[in-house]
Structure 1
Amino acid sequence: MGQGRQYIRSQLLKRQLHLTNLDKVFWPEGLTKFDLIKYYVDMAPFLLPYLRDRPLVLKRYPDGITGEAFYQKECPAYAPDWVTTLPVYHADSSKTINYVVCNNEETLIWLANQGCIEVHAWLSRAGRLEYPDIAVMDLDPSAGATFKDVLDIALLVHQALKEFNLNGYPKTSGATGLHIFIPLEPRWTFHQVTAAMGYLARLVAGVYPRKATTERSIPKRKDRVYLDYLQNVRGRSMAFPYSLRPLPGAPVSTPLTWEEVKRGMFSPKDFNIHTARERLQAYGDLYRGFLAQPNDLEPLLKLAGV
């Protein structure tokens, strides 16, 4: 592992960063904490532009995916002084939380060293925190639904978005579902964005009620795909593109083309810590135009009555 340590040190020229327990197994297949950190070192140029200025919600797995995990919103008091934080007031709890903001490689690697396998971020950024620049439709299959069902519903969402002149970008969730990210001008509140996505979700569920639902009660969803528009509520966070997931095989939340979704010739497990770099080399970052092409929600908001 000495070579591995030297590899990571060679990437960290700006900050002193003490890495610990690099030999610890984090996935049952034998992948270690070093593999986790090395992955984020390699993926930092692709991941960081999407994370810039966003509050992060930490989910830590100090003993890997088979150990206990816990969520952490408040930046730990022992964090290095160069870790940027953003104070955010939450009216429901009357508390201010100092969230970690990850704008550089060193912070990303520090987070991985804390056992943060996943990268969960807000849909808004500092400076316009109350106005998301991303809306999301989270397609979550119930126990009896298939991944093909997820892809079919994703294509219906895509068609509905096109009807409103909106561009959506699909990616695997890294588990069994699919996320569709919709870039926005940061002009609308979380309430407005949630209402717009709720209207879209109900529209799709109405077209294909046998396979799609907006039912929040898990037993009532039956064998359908849940269109979870409530992920747009203020304070929620999502796994961002190229985030690892704490599941066997170390899957990665991976951007897709709509043509890939249409063909359906893949499994979410195909995209993982071993294949992510090769895919980027072959296809580039499929989200690369994402941030430069914000959508206008006004037509959808009018129909939603907001």
Structure 2
Amino acid sequence: MKRVVVGLSGGVDSFYTAYLLKERGYEVIPVFFRLTQKASPEKAQKAAELLGLKLSVIDLTDQFQKEVIDYFVRYYRKGLTPNPCAVCNRKIKLNYLYLLMKEFGADFIATGHYARVVFSKEWGKHLVLRGKDRRKEQSYFLSLVEQRVFERLLLPLGEFTKDEVIKRAKAIGFPFESESQDICFIEGDYVSFVEQFVKPPPGLFVLKDGTVVGRHKGYHRYTVGQRRGLGISYGKPLYVVEIDAENNRVILGGKEDVLKSTVYVWNVNWHLEYEKVKELKGLQVQVRYRSRPVPVESVEYLKNGFYYVKLAAKVDAPAPGQVCAFYSGDLLLGGGEITKQGEG
């Protein structure tokens, strides 16, 4: 019997993942990662009991603080827009599941992500595809994960919609409740959380030519592309174009100023070799989790881990610090960090 270590959070997705694998004949080893001091394994424990499984609780609070929370705060301090979920998957969740797989003598690991893992005969390796539920699919958050992990990763929910999972989980007794979409380690809003560690002072709203048009309440409160909540009366709608943390300024402009036809990406984690990727037809990028993919005209390696991506259509507000994921159709090719927006 094949053994699989399943990350069990206590939510419906990880519960049904464990259920499906158990039904398919796997020996399921559920683990709960305690990521913060306030995190409780109670729901995960009840989910495991419902499945007749014994839960292991693994304390990763120190690792999570260093790799995710400190990173999150550091990026806001720099005026960047972090992506804690993508970083957590690479540095914490899938990384430690992979390590535990070896410790438990298991064959696979599994999570409740809505994405698919397939073995590609064309490329001779395991790769990730978008999940079938286009409203929920989460391949984007797996773009930073090392490809070697996919050889041992099972993602059974990739073939289902979220509504199907909820309905089926309820039918077998899971006490489903509405789930929060907020960042897991933040209670309340992210601004209040960041201000526990750093509180940039008020400063100036300026246009691209330096014209002062108002005062901001702290640059950490704003993200590139934001229009609402600026509190500025102007002749046309204004958007956040850039966060200048060094000079404590938030630079504003019109809609045309946040639409970009190029983007610079750093430290790309390729699932296929770059030389193969750049020759693919139908290459696309996705610059936010909820944004639509945009066709790519070319990808050019510069130096020191930086890539210049020329787009075949303009993309809305690529924010420095966010993840830029590369695709060919449904196939995830990897991802890296947006460093600056490039030209309009």
> Would you call these one fold, judging by a TM-score over 0.5?
no
Q: Which has the larger radius of gyration?
A: 2
| TM-score for the superposition, normalised by structure 2 | 0.23
Higher helix share: 1
